[in-house]
Chain A
C-alpha cells in the first residue's frame, strides 16, 4: 500500500474508480460478450433465437468461416470490398479537397472568414441530415439528373445510388493470392530500407519472410480455392453518390486541420525559401507538404475509422436494403435484428472492431510512445 502515501492519491483513486469500473463493464465487458457470442450458434435454430432461456452452443470460428467462405454470405464479402473502396475514395477525396480549400484560404482572399464558415458548415450537420439532403438531390427521377434540362440538354441518366454496375472486378477466390502478394511486397520494401539503413539482420529477416511468402504463393496460393466457384466482387458505381455526400460532409474538417497547419508554418521559412530561389511549387513540394504530414496522418485516422463504421449516412441515403450500397455495419443490423442471426451479427461486429482497431491501435501506440519520450 505504498502508493496510498497520502490523501491526494486516495482521492484520485476514488475519483477514477467509477469510470474505470463503468468502462470495464460497459466497454470491455460488452466487447468480450460480443466476441464470445460470435463464437456460438445463437440464432442458427429459430426456435432458440429469441426464447426466454436460449440454448446456446459454442461452435468456435464457424460463423467466421461461413462469412468468408459460405454459400449464402456473398453479401458480406461484397460489403467488405465496398468498405475498402469507400474508405479509400472517401479519405482521398477529403484530403485532396480539404488541402485545396485550405491552400486557397491560406492566401487570404477577400471574405476569408465567410468562406471558412461555409466550408466548415457541413460538419455541423449529422450524417442523417446530410444523407436526406443528398438523397433528394440524387434521386433517380429528379435532382442532379435534371440539371442539364435547365439549359435545354437531355436529362442525365446516371443511376446515382441505384446502379448495379461494377468496375475493377476480381474473384474472391484470388483473395489469398493477392493478400500474400501485397504483404510480400511490403516485406520486400521493409527489407530494402533496412539494408540501406545498414540493419543487415532486420533486412535478412524481412527479405526471408517475403521469399517464403512468395514461395507459398507459387506453390499453394495459386491452387487455394475459398469457394467452389468464382465469385466476382468489385467497386459498385452506386457508391459514387455516397462518397460525394460523405466528402461534402467531412472535407471542411480536413480543411480546418490543414488551414491550422498552414498558418502554423512561420512566414520566415517561406521567405527564406523564396530568397534561396525556390519556385512556388518547390516551396510547397519540399517545405510545406512535409510539414503537413503529421496532420495528414491524424486526418486519415479520424476519417478512416468514420468510414469503416459508417451506417447512418447510407441508411438515410439509400436505405438498409439497397445491396449495391451496403456496408458491414448495415448488414450487421439486418443480420441481428431482422434475421435474428444473433451470433453471425456479433461476428460481423467483431470483424468491424478488428478493422477499426487496425487503424486506431498503431496510431495510439505511436502517440503514446512519443508522449512518453517527451
Chain B
C-alpha cells in the first residue's frame, strides 16, 4: 500500500511538471491553410520559431476551402471550452458577428496602439476590424474580391474591350453571343455565384450605398436593391448553365481556353494562373476591376485574434506581433499570392499582378466583401445562400429582396 502511495505521488508530480511545461512553451495555431497555402503558413511558423526557439508550435490545420470545415471544428472546440491559442478567421464581421458579440475575444486595440499599427493599416480596413470601440483581430493579408479576369489575346480576336460598367458588360455580352460564344461569362459553384453577386451589387450601388447597406441604413427592399437583383439576373443570362458543377479553378480554365471571355473571381485566381497554369501576368491573362467598381477595392482578409482564456497568452501576443510586422507580412504574402495589409510593404517581393493591387490598396476606396466575411456576420452569410436560391428558382427580385431583409432583421444587421 505504501509503495502505491509513493507511486501516485510521483505520478502527480510528473503531471504537474508536464502541465507547467505546457503553460510556458506551446502555441497552437488553428487555420485552414493547407495545400497551396501550406508553405506560406510554414514560412511564418519558421520565422516565429527563429524568434522564440523555446516555444513548441502546433500547427492545427483543418482542410477545406475558405474554412468551411475549420469553422465547424472551431465551434465545437469553443463551445467545449477548449479554444485554440489563436485561430484564423476572415477579418471583420465573420469574427465580430460570431465571436466578439458572444464575448469570447480579447480587445486588441492596445496592441494596435503599442505596435503603431493604427497608422500602418489603412483607415477603411481598421473600420472593418472595429466594433464597439475595440479592434478585434490582426489582419495578415489582403485579397481583392472585385476583379474581372480575361484573356487579352482572345479579347483582341473578338474585338471587344473589358467593359467599364454593368450596362456595358451586357452589351459586350450580346456582341460576344452574336459571335457564337455560348457563355461570355464563366461561372462556378454556389459561392462563386454569390461572389459575382457582390461585384454586381457594388457596381450598381457604389461604395457608399454598399457600406450603408451593412450599417442597416439602406434596406434590402430598397428599389436600388431590386435593381441589383434584376441586373444580376441579366448577368446570369450571360453565364454558363453548368455553373453549379464547376470549381472556381474550372471556371477560370474556361477563360484561359477561350470558351468564355470573362470571369469574376478574387485575386487568388492570379496565383492559380501564374503558378499552376504558368501564364505571364499581363500577356497570358489580363485583369480589370469588375464593371462599375474602378477606384474601389473590395477586400477580404485572413486574420488572427486572441480568444479569451487561452493557455499561452504571451506566446499568442508574440505571434500576433509577428503577423502584424512588416517582416511577417512580407514573408507570408508573396508565397500566399496575396498582398500585405500594411501600406509600407516592399513591392519588389511581389508579382506584377500583386504590385498593381498594392497600388490600388493605397489609393482606392476600401469596402468589405460579403461572401468572404468582412461586412456581414456568419449567420447572415450562410442564410444568404437561401436568398440566392429563392432568386434562382423564381427569378423574382422582390421575393429575394424580402427574404434578404427578413434575415438581415433577424441577425440584427445595423443594430
Residues of A within 8 A of B (CB): 43-52, 54, 71-75, 78, 139-141, 159-162, 164, 229, 232, 238, 318-324, 334-335, 337-341
Contact = CB atoms under 8 A, between A and B. Distances in A.
A51 to B, nearest CB: 4
B256 to A, nearest CB: 14
Interface residues of B, number: 43
Contacts of A339: 378-379, 382-383
Contacts of B244: 159, 161-162, 164, 238, 318, 322, 324
A261 B378 CA distance: 53
Interface in B30-86: 68, 71-72, 75, 78-79
23 contacts: A46-B97, A46-B378, A46-B412, A50-B98, A51-B103, A72-B386, A72-B387, A74-B403, A75-B386, A78-B389, A140-B245, A141-B245, A159-B241, A160-B245, A161-B245, A319-B189, A323-B386, A324-B244, A337-B72, A338-B71, A338-B378, A340-B98, A341-B379
B382 A334 contact: yes
The secondary structure that dominates the A interface is loop
A75 B101 CA distance: 28
Given A54-B102, A75-B389, A337-B72, 7 more contacts: A72-B383, A74-B403, A140-B245, A161-B245, A318-B244, A321-B191, A340-B378
Contacts of A335: 382
A299 to B, nearest CB: 32
Interface in B223-256: 241-246, 250
Which 7 A-B pairs have CB atoms at the shortest separation, nearest pair first? A140-B242, A339-B382, A162-B244, A47-B101, A51-B102, A321-B190, A140-B245
Contacts of A238: 244
A43 to B, nearest CB: 7
B328 interface: no
Given A50-B104, A321-B189, A321-B385, A72 B407 contact: yes
B67 to A, nearest CB: 10
B411 interface: yes
Contacts of A164: 244, 392-393
Nearest to B404: A72
B378 A323 contact: no
B377 interface: yes
B390 A338 contact: no
Nearest to A139: B245
A71 B403 contact: yes
B268 interface: no
Nearest to B102: A51
Nearest to A340: B379
Nearest to B393: A164
Nearest to B403: A72
A50 B379 contact: no
Contact of A159 (B71, B98, B101, B245): B245
Contacts of B153: none
Given A159-B242, A162-B244, A338-B68, A45 B412 contact: yes
Given A338-B71, A340-B98, A52 B389 contact: no
Given A45-B412, A72-B406, A340-B98, A322 B383 contact: no
Contact of B104 (A52, A141, A337): A52
B410 interface: yes
Nearest to A51: B102
A75 B403 CA distance: 12
B272 interface: no
Contacts of A45: 412
Given A48-B102, A52-B104, A338-B72, A323 B389 contact: yes
B245 A49 contact: no
Contacts of A323: 190, 385-386, 389, 392
Contact of B190 (A52, A161, A322): A322
A75 B400 CA distance: 13
B262 to A, nearest CB: 18
B225 to A, nearest CB: 16
A74 B390 contact: yes
B99 interface: yes
B331 interface: no
Contacts of B382: 334-335, 338-340
Contact of B386 (A43, A50, A74, A232): A74
B387 A49 contact: no
A123 to B, nearest CB: 27
A44 to B, nearest CB: 7
B351 interface: no
A50 B242 contact: no
Which of A48, A160, A323 neighbours the largest number of chain B CB atoms within 10 Å of its CB? A323
A71 B402 contact: yes
A232 B97 CA distance: 34
Contacts of B190: 319, 321-323
A54 B79 CA distance: 11
Contacts of A232: 393
A44 B379 CA distance: 9
Nearest to B101: A47
B392 A337 contact: no
B245 A71 contact: no
Contacts of A161: 244-245
Contact of B250 (A141, A337, A341): A141
B189 A50 contact: no
A46 B411 contact: yes
Contacts of A320: 68
Contact of A71 (B72, B104, B377, B406): B406
Contacts of A52: 102-104
B263 to A, nearest CB: 15
Contacts of B72: 337-338
Nearest to A331: B386
A296 B382 CA distance: 41
Contacts of B189: 319, 321-322
B379 A46 contact: yes
Contacts of A318: 244-245
Nearest to B389: A323
A275 to B, nearest CB: 58
